[in-house]
């Protein structure tokens, strides 16, 4: 069964892990397989920067430096998005929460809706490998599908397998110095959330050094158990 052909209870998942761990790639696979909605605060912030909104203007320099955008801005963006009707199907939170304040705000938002976080999955990787992973990644400007120079190449170079698009983009913050700062921010501010969710009894740890298909297989098993 592919998991999309039968009704299932809405579940809300948190994906934890440093930049380059594969949160975006795995979130998109879970979205397809379980019919959940991927919510990436990084994507939302990049869209706000591109649109030049007030939040985007405030976030731009912070993101370029590899630091975390203020809790108030990110929580407001996430709250608005979570209120949209499609999120009632269940969501995969990719890159949120990143601080304890955000995790507590998320619990409150879930409680307001009579829901809760069904599983928090920590993608565990070596920092040293992350810099190489990030250096090679790019995505399709048309559909957002992520690609990698070595680990995930399209069948035909320069053409997106998903949508046929030929415009590929690399993120401004995927450079060596910014990645180092993003890793520092992860360890200082986000890694404590592993204990936060462990204490709630919803934590699962996954070895994310394995290849994309193996990690996806393990994540699907965790989500299937959490839904049951």
**Residues identified as active-site:** 23, 98, 137, 171, 182
Three state DSSP letters for 112-133 = HCCCCEEEEEEEECCHHHHHHH
The reply to whether 208 sits near ligand AMP by the rule CB under 6 A is no
The reply to whether 186 sits near ligand AMP by the rule CB under 6 A is no
Least Å from the CB of residue 131 to ligand AMP: 14
Q: Position of tokens 């938002």? A: 109
Cβ atoms of residues 15 and 24 within 8 Å: no
- Helical residues (DSSP H) of the chain, grouped into ranges: 23-34, 41-51, 54-65, 71-82, 100-112, 127-135, 176-185, 192-199, 212-227
Q: Which range binds ligand AMP by CB under 6 A, 41-49, 79-87, 110-118, 133-141?
A: 41-49
Cβ atoms of residues 222 and 206 within 8 Å: yes
The reply to whether 17 sits near ligand AMP by the rule CB under 6 A is no
Q: Which of 14, 37, 38, 96 binds ligand AMP (CB under 6 A)?
A: 96
- Judged by CB under 6 A, the chain residues 73 through 92 that form the site for ligand AMP are 74
- Which spans of this chain sit near ligand AMP (rule: CB under 6 A)? 19, 41-42, 45, 62-63, 66-69, 74, 95-96, 98, 102, 173, 182
């Amino acid at each position: 069964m592919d998991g999309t052909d039968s009704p299932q209870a809405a579940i809300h998942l948190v994906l934890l892990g440093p930049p380059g761990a594969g949160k975006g790639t795995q979130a998109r696979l879970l979205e397809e397989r379980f019919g959940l909605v991927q919510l990436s605060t990084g994507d939302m912030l990049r869209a706000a920067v591109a649109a030049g909104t007030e939040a985007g203007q405030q976030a731009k320099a912070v993101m370029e430096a590899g630091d975390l955008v203020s809790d108030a801005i990110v929580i407001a963006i996430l709250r608005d998005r979570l209120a949209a009707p499609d999120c009632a199907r269940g969501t995969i939170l990719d890159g949120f929460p990143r601080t304890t304040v955000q995790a507590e705000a998320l619990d409150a938002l879930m409680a307001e809706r009579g829901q809760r976080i069904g599983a928090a999955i920590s993608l565990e990787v070596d920092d040293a490998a992350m810099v190489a992973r990030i250096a090679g990644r790019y995505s399709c400007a048309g559909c957002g599908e992520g690609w990698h120079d070595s680990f995930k190449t399209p069948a035909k170079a320069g053409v997106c397998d998903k949508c046929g698009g030929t415009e590929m983009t690399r993120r401004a913050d995927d450079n060596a110095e910014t990645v180092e700062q993003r890793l520092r921010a992860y360890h200082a501010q986000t890694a404590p959330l592993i204990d936060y969710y462990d204490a709630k009894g919803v934590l699962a740890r996954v070895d994310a050094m394995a290849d994309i298909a193996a990690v996806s297989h393990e994540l699907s098993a965790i989500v299937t158990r959490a839904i049951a």
